Amino acid sequence: MKKILIIYACLFFTAFLILFGCKDTVTGNSIDSRVMPQSNISFAADLQPVIEIKCATSGCHDGTSVETSLVLTSCSNAKSDPGIIFPGNSGTSRIVWAVEGLNGANPMPPVGVNKPFTAEQIRGLKKWIDEGAKCN
């Protein structure tokens, strides 16, 4: 009887940890309040969470329900089309044109699909590209 109670207690504790223990989920609201570093932008730490929420999980650039041939689930995927990101030159990078809605580019993400990039996120994206668009 004592063993059964211990087993049930362990199962209950495990279930509790699984259901309530992990509160580090990134959401659109939490990502929009983050401040980008002034330099040494990390794709993995600073940009990937933004791109994942705004572009990849919005059903457009996730690799399975792709609206275009551009998949933005990783740095290497984002850089696979040489016309999208020009390392060292954010002004000629089509990804910047898209998030800013410049030079005739369709605004990304599309209106009504997801919130647009914030000014801070755009600054971080541009800085990352100008710093060489490293997959770090």
- Residue 99 inside a domain? The answer is yes
Host domain of residue 65:
24-130
- Residue 107 inside a domain? The answer is yes
- Specify the number of domains making up the chain: 1
pLDDT at 23 over 50: no
* pLDDT interval class at 12 (50, 70, 90): low
Which of the given ranges, 13-22, 65-74, 122-131, has the highest pLDDT on average?
A: 122-131
The model's pTM is 0.75
**CB crowding 84-107: b at 16 or more within 10 Å, else e:** bbbeeebeebbbbbbbbeeeeeee
- Residue 32 inside a domain? The answer is yes
What pLDDT is stored for residue 80 in this prediction? 87
pLDDT mean across residues, the chain: 80
- Residue 78 inside a domain? The answer is yes
- Residue 98 inside a domain? The answer is yes
- Residue 117 inside a domain? The answer is yes
DSSP state of 105: P
- Mapping DSSP to helix (H, G, I), strand (E, B) and coil, where does residue 37 land? coil
pLDDT tens per residue, range 102-112:
887 778 887 77
